[in-house]
Amino acid sequence: MSAPQDTIPRDAAPVSIVAPISFGRRLKDVLVRGLVWLAFAIAVVPLVSVIWLVVKNGLARIDMTFLTHSMRNIAPRDAGGGAYHAILGTLEQVLIATVISVPIGLLTAIYLVEYGNGRRLARSISFFVDVMTGIPSVVAGLFVLAFWILVLGFGFSGFAGALALSILMLPTVVRAAEEMLKLVPNELREASYALGVPKWKTIVRIVLPTALTGIITGIMLAIARVAGETAPLLLTVFFTSSINPDPFNGPQMGLPLYIFDQMGRPNDTAIARAWAGALTLIVIVMLLNLVARLIAWWRAPAKGR
């Protein structure tokens, strides 16, 4: 007996088995989409407004004189002067803070993820990192002022400011690196161990390159956080109108201090310099983020060679 043949005609239209979407579900979808766009606008509009205000007021004063001259022998009402000494100070202070905090934060994150599972020391470190995350910036400045300047007697300097900034950077670096290391699949580690590779070499050659993009992003977030801090610098760096390229000797200006100082002077020329300093600070942070993105893209494991 022959097998039964299909009774459905070959030219028949396909029958849809998906139920039509009800009006209530469509309405809910529209409402949720509208709420998402509203939340996006609430978050973005103030940010765009601030950026536009800084760019509009800062461009009027940005020129080569502003970028290549200091405020030495410039009276508050004089039209000249610039922020070269503050730009140099900010770059040096942030660089020193990064050199201090990134290795310590990265090694701490490696210990917490790779070696500290369930250990009391790891739990204590994680607790103190959480506490440091909520420390006000002025407290970090007060600590450096009390210990480094008053007790040890080293005096105001860019390095003292960098120490305060590194305290603020450290918990952000630790948490960002820790979360990125946790995202690395355990299969990669196990495959490396199966080939007889030591654990330290697995971390250096496999784990860190895989999490490098996220770690760099976390470092840049930490740098962006401390680059505009004013309170720690007020207590540790102090004010100067001269160029001081030595961060270990004498007061050294920074862009946040420069903006704070110029905004406090009741005349239009000083306020214009403050707006230009704010725009310069934003540009510096954006350039650092761009460089970090390029490095992360260049070193990404998935990028084609």
For residue 180, give the amino acid letter: M
Instruction: Decide if 125 contacts 105 (C-beta within 8 A).
Output: no
> Which ranges of 79-156 would DSSP assign to H, the alpha helix?
84-110, 120-133, 137-144
**CA 190 → CA 178, 198, 199, 228, distances in Å?**
19, 11, 10, 43
C-alpha–C-alpha distance, residues 202 and 26, integer Å: 50
Residues lower than pLDDT 50 in the chain? 1, 304-305
Residue 146 Cα to chain centre, angstroms: 27
Q: Please, which residues have CB within 8 angstroms of residue 158's CB and are 6 or more apart in sequence? A: 89, 92, 93, 96, 237, 244, 246, 247, 248, 252, 254
C-alpha–C-alpha distance, residues 118 and 70, integer Å: 54
Q: pLDDT of 104-155, one tens digit each?
A: 999 999 999 988 887 889 899 999 998 888 888 899 999 999 999 999 988 8
Instruction: Decide if 35 contacts 46 (C-beta within 8 A).
Output: no
Can you give the pLDDT at residue 155?
86
Closest Cα to residue 173, out of 138, 129, 135, 131? 129
Can you give the pLDDT at residue 305?
47
Can you give the pLDDT at residue 107?
94
For the record, the structure tokens of 292 come out as 């970090």
